[in-house]
Structure formats: C-alpha cells, structure tokens
Amino acid sequence: MNSWMFYALLSATAAGATAVLAKVGVQGVPSNLATAVRTAVVLVFAWGIVLARGESSGLRDLKARTLVFLLLSGVATGLSWLAYFKALQLAPASRVAAIDKLSLPITVILAWLALGEPVSLRLSIGISLMVAGAALTVGS
C-alpha cells in the first residue's frame, strides 16, 4: 500500500469515528462551544506532534503566499467544523456524514478549475455515484 493511501484510509477511519463521537459530544452543548473544544484539542495535538518531531523551525521558512493559503485553509476548516457540528445537532450522524462527504466532488471540481488537475471518465463516474449515494441517504 502506498504511504499516501495508508494516511488517506487512516483519515477516513478517523473521520468516521469523528462523526459518531461528535454526535454524542454535541448533545446538550452549543455546537459552537463543542467546535471550540474540539479545535483546542486539535491545536494541542498538532503542535505536540510538531514539537516532538522538531519541525517548528520550519516556521521561519514559510513564505507569505504559503502562509496566506494556510490561513485561508484554516478559515475554511473552521467554517466546515462549525457547520458540521450544527448539522450533527439537527440530524442523524449517518446523514450528516454522507452529505459532508460531498466535499469530494467539490474538491474535484475546485482542483480541476484552480489546479488544472485532470478529471477522467472513471473519476467522473465515481463522483456521480457518490452524489447519488448522498442523495439516497438524505431521502431515507
């Protein structure tokens, strides 16, 4: 298995667990507060790994363009998490997670438009099936 595939599967597994854990954790708590607690944990966890691996010296090498895009990515992540936790308060985790995974078709379109990444027929069919699956999930 490629190293990227291992990390992608680990990410998917953790994201699946996140939906269930967050659904339980957000009960009886304002969704924004729940997101803030989660974010604090992610912040401590990520910086702990950076410091343990001695990677903090890379901060000096960040170029302005890189920093701007990382900051914009952080804003997008924050908005995503806030909306995700609110959705979890309002709907079953299985439905929320299915709709959340529509981020893949959106990513493919944005990567095609902004990065010039190719979109093959096979990828288009797979994405179409994901969209259909999400639509079926919402309707159940």
pLDDT at 108: 96
* CB distance 22 to 38 below 8 Å: yes
Query: How many angstroms separate the CA atoms of 64 and 1, rounded?
Result: 35
Do the beta carbons of residue 26 and residue 34 sit within 8 Å?
Answer: yes
Contact 110, 76 (CB under 8 A): no
Q: For residue 123, count CB atoms less than 10 angstroms from its CB and return exposed for 0-12, middle for 13-18, buried for 19 or more.
A: middle
Q: What is the pLDDT of residue 140?
A: 60
Q: What is the pLDDT of residue 87?
A: 95
* pLDDT band for position 139 (cuts 50, 70, 90): confident
- Digit-coded pLDDT (tens) for 45-102: 999 999 999 999 999 999 999 999 999 999 999 999 999 999 999 999 999 999 999 9
**138 band by pLDDT with thresholds 50, 70 and 90:** confident
**Domain boundaries defined on the chain:** 3-90, 101-140
User: Two tokens at 104?
Assistant: 């893949």
Question: Cα dist. 3→6, 8, 12 in Å?
Answer: 5, 9, 14
Q: Residue 118: left if φ>0, alpha if ψ -120 to 50, beta else—which one?
A: beta
Per-residue pLDDT tens over the stretch 39-61: 999 999 999 999 999 999 999 99
At residue 78, the pLDDT reads 95
Q: Is 126:134 a contact under the CB 8 Å cutoff?
A: no
CA proximity to 109, closest of 131, 139, 84: 131
Query: For 25-36, what is each residue's pLDDT tens digit?
Result: 999 999 999 999
pLDDT of residue 1: 72
- The whole-number pLDDT of residue 13 equals 93
Evaluate whether 130 touches 101 at the Cβ level (below 8 Å). yes
